[in-house]
Chains A and B, each alone.
Chain A
Amino acid sequence: MRIPGLLSAGVFLLFGSVFGWLLSNPQVPPGAQNLVSLQNDLGEQFELPKNGVLRFAKASSTDSNLMLRTTYVIDAIAPVPSAIWLGYVNQPVELIVNGARMEKLRLLPGADDAGLRQSYLFFLPPELLHAGGNSVALYFRSPNASATLFSPSLHRGLVLGDLWVGPRDQLEAHFYQHYRIRVTLTEVAALCAAIVAAFAAMLWISRRKEAIYGWFALGVALWLVYLWHFVWYQAPFVGASWIAGITIALAFSLLAIRRFVNSFLQQQIGSLASLKTPRAALDRGIDWLVILAVTALISLSVVAPSASLGSNLIEFFMRVLMPIVLLVQSLRICWLLLAHAKAVRRDDAYWLASAALLGLACAVLDTGTRQGWRTELALPILQLAILPIVVVFGYSLLQRFLYLLGAIEAENALLDRRILEKSSALEEQFQARRQLEKEKLLSEERHRLATDLHDGAGSQLVSLLAAVRHSGMSSQQMEQALIEAIADLRLVMDSIDSFGADLAEALGQFRSRLEPRLKAAGLHSIWRTANLPEGLKLSPRRMLNIFRALQEALVNVIKHAKASEVQISAREAGSALEFIVQDNGVGIADLPDKGSTPRGRGRLNLEQRMKALGGYARFQAASPNGLAVHLLVPIPNANETNL
């Protein structure tokens, strides 16, 4: 079952407040007496403790560091007090019981007299105590009386949280249960805050333009300075200056967190305008208030550290102005977050608002304690509130980080899909273009075939028809004409089937076509084609035209040469192909001029064909007799495929 965010955030807020209230209230160890409220022998010299700070005039003794000597008379009848508990003391202390100095038996690890807010447990040896009045004297000493940063009264201020006398076991149990829980909680809070601050700082370092992480890290880090006061009892420097320092740190921490909340909300909802709260002007005003208050505090303490007016002003700043500054900031943060939660009505918004409210409640409680509105023994609680606040804010930050990560992944997926769509569209285009090219090639090839058929067998058949109609033909002439038409048709067909092969293979096919005809004409043919390079490819049309020329030359030999042998040789000569058709027939002597005789017409045809191929035909007398026809055809570059 999903618990509504508003409800769970409310429960969280309630629980946090109650827990904080309980922790801030002093619990009296059973059987113990509160010595602070007892009358002592210096009663005339100091006021009753307010806000945990004892004010006193300097003791008149020669001991210049002595801040306070207080003596109690305690009764040791029943129950016999066997221990004294001193909690949250900020000055070194000595305990003298009936004139004997007691050893401090319980200290927190790592702490010593110079620390702030130390806690001690003294055991009272029973043999020292006697029935009736026992004198118990406490001597508080300042470690460095001359070091003053702020007002002397603040510097000499003595903070004393708990001062109990009672049974040893009870006070020990009090130490462990009450005190230890607070310390542990504070330590855990500090650890969490440190981790979250480090995480945010790393995010900010890697993404400088996202100031949101930087503000968060700064805010938490400054709060850690404030927490130091409660976790590590070894203060960097002692006294009022340190108190003022942590107050300033807290003010700036709130400023940074307010900045963080501002930009966080801005990113969450786009614009703060929809929140219906005064915006930039108010925030700027609060910023200036913080800066002015802090500057005034520092400069006053530098300019007039000892003047009474100055010290009174500092007193005023510390007691009145700084709490107001802090409260105004906390209120502003709560206001923003509440308005945001109201506007978006989302779980994380409720959680953020309730965390801020919890912080505000703790701050109000602490302010009340400091101002003396609560019992003198009440303890500060704000340092504990950081644990839930940091957890909630850190969680929101993590959520935002994860959301951005998810957004990036979604963006990537979208990009991937777009790329896929684009590439499939490209693929389709490519296929379409390939189809077009294929069709273009097919149509070119069809055109070529039609032209080849028209120029060759087609025109031969038409001229044969004309000859038959015009003059009549002997069946022998007709057979001859048909044979030639069929031979040309074969060449065209072969150009479809086998001219994709290389020239040597196409020439082989050509030879197999012509050889039976030569044989039938009584011609012995010798083919010398072994010297042709392998893999030489020409376009089908070029091959067809070469073979037509060769066929023409051979037919001329059959018809006119009266030869008994013909040699056909082919070779590659540089960038040309050379074909030689040489017979042993009547030779060139019988070759008077072109055009006038059938043989002359054959020669003319051959020359024209070669010209069309970009080559030429040469006719030479062969020895001892016969004719050698040289056909020279250039091999075109790969890009000029036609002809």
Chain B
Amino acid sequence: MSCELTQRFVPGYLDGELDLVRTIEMETHLKSCAACARELESQQALREAVRRGSLAYSAPAALRKSIQSSLRTSTATKDADRASAWFALLTWRWAAAFAVLVVCSVTAWQLVPALHGPFNNQQLAAEVLASHVRSLEANHLMDVASTDQHTVKPWFDGKLDFSPPVEDLAGDGYPLVGGRLDYLEGREVAALVYQRRKHFINVFVWPDANGVSPARALESRQGYNLMRWSRGGFQFWAASDVSAPDLAEFVRLLENRVSPGSK
């Protein structure tokens, strides 16, 4: 190999990027040529100086934060964009038609008080579901953990202005595991927690003086099943991710335990 070629390949040689044949040729040449050997040494010294110089810059902490917050804003805007794309479908004509519809519906709503019921139910169902999900997420399922109804029931004394019916259904495969205070429809309610294998069932209970209605399943939402009923002067809501038939079975068992008249 010539001196010119050797010197051209010195960097590749140093970087370990030459193929085997060239490497051998270079090494043979370097042994016999002092000038080329000096060139290699010099480039080696340069490389060591650069590496020793610790020339790497690290990203400032402020930059990292700023990127993270931009990402957050951009994802939030994207979600908002999706929503506004929907609104874009409504031209002013449609918007006007929609407004008329809204006015009519509101009027109808006010004229027919019976319609309030289902509307409130929808809203309440959303609240119940949110409470159920929150209780599982926030690791705040129970304020009082006990499988004994005689521990759970007295625990509510002094915390609520009513004494909720507490029944254990362990014998039927739905053991009571505890209770906690929750908040629904602007009031404090009792939440009783039951377990079905690995799944939890939240039963929300609060007084409902005039209500007697049979158990009814609501449309399942986000994979959760909801049921509501009124009995014995209480309103009940059950929320869980157990299957709809399991939940219906559970509710039937619970309904039978709570006597229709007493509290």
A binds B: no
Please list the residues of chain B having a beta carbon within 8 angstroms of any beta carbon in chain A. none
Please list the residues of chain A having a beta carbon within 8 angstroms of any beta carbon in chain B. none
